[in-house]
């Protein structure tokens, strides 16, 4: 487990860089591009074969990952803002698009393409994620991800009239 200290710094990357990875069905990394390795500060040998959640930052609400896996298991793509962890305990934000990798109609794994997350979009999403984490802390461990995900969907609908996917894509596009 990577130690996260209070003195972490944000790692940034340019808008024209795409962070790309591929996993097997269990979420173990089978491919990582050079941008991924540079930004995350992991060598290829440290990534391949490891669970993709090796870069999961503790600030991320579990409800976001609950939604991602639920969406992917239904053979649909997932979009979301994600705070990731580097090998040296720093962090970076991305706008992620995760898609099932199909072969003859069967899902073989997953592709993830991550772009720079716009600052203005993060100003909107960070307080929402903070609220999700608070809900998760108050909930029973086994229901916490579902509880925070359900809250997020209701919150987005009541505040914007949109579904989650429309909301995050619109937030990204509005601030690109």
What confidence score (pLDDT) does residue 1 get? 53
In a domain, 134, yes or no: yes
What confidence score (pLDDT) does residue 8 get? 82
Number of structural domains (the chain) is 1
Element holding 33 (H helix, E strand)? none
Give the count of beta carbons closer than 10 Å to the beta carbon of residue 7: 7
pLDDT digits (tens, 9 = 90+) for 49-62: 999 999 999 999 99
What confidence score (pLDDT) does residue 51 get? 97
- φ, ψ of residue 88 in degrees (nearest 5): -100, 15
Please check the confidence at residue 109 and state whether its pLDDT lies above 60. yes
What confidence score (pLDDT) does residue 163 get? 97
In a domain, 113, yes or no: yes
- The verdict on pTM exceeding 0.75 is yes
pLDDT digits (tens, 9 = 90+) for 122-143: 999 999 999 999 999 999 999 9
Average pLDDT in the chain: 95
In a domain, 8, yes or no: no
- The Cα 58–Cα 83 span in angstroms is 9
What confidence score (pLDDT) does residue 56 get? 96
Q: Where are the alpha helices (DSSP H) in 41-118?
A: 44-47, 62-73
In a domain, 11, yes or no: no
pLDDT digits (tens, 9 = 90+) for 155-166: 999 999 999 999
Name the residue range of residue 49's domain.
Answer: 19-175
What confidence score (pLDDT) does residue 3 get? 55
142: three-class secondary structure by DSSP = coil
Please report, for the domain that includes residue 108, its CATH number: 3.30.450.20
What confidence score (pLDDT) does residue 7 get? 56
**Average pLDDT value for residue range 35-47:** 98
């Amino acid at each position: 487990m990577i130690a996260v200290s209070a003195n972490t710094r944000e790692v940034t990357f340019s808008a024209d860089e795409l962070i790309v990875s591929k996993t097997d069905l269990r979420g173990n990394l089978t491919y990582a591009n050079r941008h991924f390795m540079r930004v995350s500060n992991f060598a290829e040998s440290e990534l391949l074969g490891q669970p993709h959640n090796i870069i999961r930052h503790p600030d991320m609400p579990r409800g976001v990952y609950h939604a991602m896996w639920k969406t992917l298991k239904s053979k649909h793509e997932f979009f979301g803002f994600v705070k990731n962890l580097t090998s040296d305990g720093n962090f970076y934000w991305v706008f992620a698009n995760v898609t099932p990798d199909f072969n003859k109609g069967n899902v073989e794994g997953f592709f993830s393409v991550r772009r720079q997350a716009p600052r203005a979009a993060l100003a909107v999403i960070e307080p929402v994620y903070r609220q999700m984490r608070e809900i998760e802390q108050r909930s029973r461990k086994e229901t916490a991800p579902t509880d925070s995900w359900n809250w997020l969907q209701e919150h987005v609908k009541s505040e914007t009239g949109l579904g989650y996917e429309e909301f995050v894509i619109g937030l990204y596009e509005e601030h690109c």
